[in-house]
Amino acid sequence: MGDNLAVTRNYYQFDRGAWADLHGHTRRTEITDADLQSVKAFNDKISLDDVRTIYWPLRRLVYLYFKNYRQKRQTLAHFLNKDVAPSPFIIGIAGSVAVGKSTTARLLDLLLERTYPQLTIQTVTTDGFLYPNAELTRRGILDRKGFPESYDMGQLLAVLDAIKAGNQDVAVPAYDHQIYDVLPMSEAIHVRQPDILIVEGINVLQLPSNAQIYVSDFFDFSIYVDANPALIEEWYLDRFGALLDTAFTDPDNYYYDYAVGNRAEAFAMARRVWRDVNLKNLIEYIEPTRSRADLILHKTAHHRIDEVDLRKY
């Protein structure tokens, strides 16, 4: 092990230098600034240095886990003396609102596709499994949107079960952040037997108390994107401001009324939402799942990843 590698009870801890040394001898897929712009989430930040230092080794690790998964499937088929249905390798990516989960998911998707063109990669988000706003209103929990009870977990589990079982075409409900609501199933995303599926969402590592099977049971590898809550609040408010700057031309945009109204009042509202909804959800339900992840990407200022923790066992 390198001199910059620390070990905790459950995780190996790497600084940037030690982690970068683990890229191995796989092809170092070049990514351009234009590529980064195409995959990064709205108002997120990521650098080419992060790609080379953090994501090249992560891509290699994921592929090694994927190959091991394929070998286990072959072993199962040999033991049963029959073919087993194709089943995708599923990666779960969790973390707070505004921490950069979507960028991590899309960038990992891009790197895997570029490096291993023989594989089919798809990415979905669990946002589509939120109850529609009308249903949240009917239940009196619109102000708890994002909390565990605001998701149709039965539907999410059924969809993941169908995907893992190798069904040829599974419809995954989609969510539109412009209208701040779930889209009709006519606009669903179709998952068609990918080799690797990336599932991103704040709730993917949570353990609902009333379930006998959990979302994470379907995962073969999991990632938690971590940062200090004060930094995440800063990123959340920065994103909110950027949304206001783009929403004032579209009356159908959820943020339109805030964009054309008093900006100070809009930011006061956003701070309340962060404090009463997103921070509370992070502390009570999201952050406690961090220790369940196989890998933790820890971010510091400007979304720079300064530490990677890899589960030992």
User: What was the pLDDT predicted at 135?
Assistant: 97
In a domain, 287, yes or no: no
pLDDT tens-digit readout, 38-96:
888 777 788 899 999 999 999 999 999 999 999 999 999 999 999 988 899 999 999 99
183 within domain boundaries: yes
> Are 299 and 309 a contacting pair, CB within 8 Å?
no
With cut-offs at 50, 70 and 90, classify the pLDDT of residue 7. Answer: low
Provide DSSP, 125-144: EGGGGBPPHHHHHHHT-GGG
Cα dihedral value 146, 148, 150, 152, nearest 10: 120
* pLDDT(262) > 90: yes
Helix (H) or strand (E) holding 289: none
On the question of pLDDT at 208 being above 80, the answer is: no
Please give the Cα distance from 282 to 101 (Å, whole number): 14
The residue among 205, 171, 213, 173 whose CA lies nearest residue 291 is: 205
SS3 5: strand
In whole angstroms, what is the distance from residue 252 CA to residue 33 CA?
A: 31
Nearest to 265 by CA among 230, 240, 284, 288: 240
Is the pLDDT reported for residue 8 higher than 70?
Answer: no
Helices 263-273 and 229-247, packing angle to 10 deg: 140
Q: How many percent of the chain have pLDDT more than 70?
A: 95
The span from the CA of 46 to the CA of 271, in Å, is: 25
Least confident window among 92-101, 132-141, 215-224, 237-246: 237-246
246 belongs to a structural domain: no
Confidence of residue 25 (pLDDT cuts 50, 70, 90): confident
* Mean pLDDT within 148-154: 93
Which CATH number belongs to the domain containing residue 113 in this structure? 3.40.50.300
What DSSP assignment string belongs to 162-228?
A: HHHTT-S-EEE--EETTTTEEPPGGG-EEE---SEEEEE-TTTT---TT-SS-GGGG-SEEEEEE--
Length in residues, the chain = 313
- Name the domain count of the chain: 1
**Res 70: pLDDT:** 96
In a domain, 162, yes or no: yes
Q: 274: pLDDT confidence band, cut at 50, 70 and 90?
A: very high
253 lies in some domain: no
Cβ-contact 40, 23 below 8 angstroms: no
- C-alpha R_g of the chain: 20
Selected residue with higher pLDDT from 214 and 183: 183
Which residue ranges make up the annotated binding site for ATP? 95-102
**Sequence-ordered list of residues with C-beta below 8 angstroms from that of 122, at least 6 positions apart, any chain:** 109, 191, 192, 194, 196, 197, 198
Q: Which residues are annotated as a binding site?
A: 95-102
Q: Which residue has the higher pLDDT, 271 or 207?
A: 271
Give the mean pLDDT of 99-127. 95
Q: Is the pLDDT of residue 187 over 50?
A: yes
H helices of the chain, in order, are: 16-20, 33-39, 48-50, 56-80, 101-115, 133-139, 153-164, 229-247, 256-260, 263-273, 279-281
pTM of the predicted protein model: 0.93
Domain of 28?
A: 5-231+293-311
Q: Is residue 272 part of a domain?
A: no
Structure confidence at residue 2 (pLDDT)? 44
Residue 265 lies in a domain: no
Residue 209: the pLDDT is 59
Domain assignment present for 210: yes
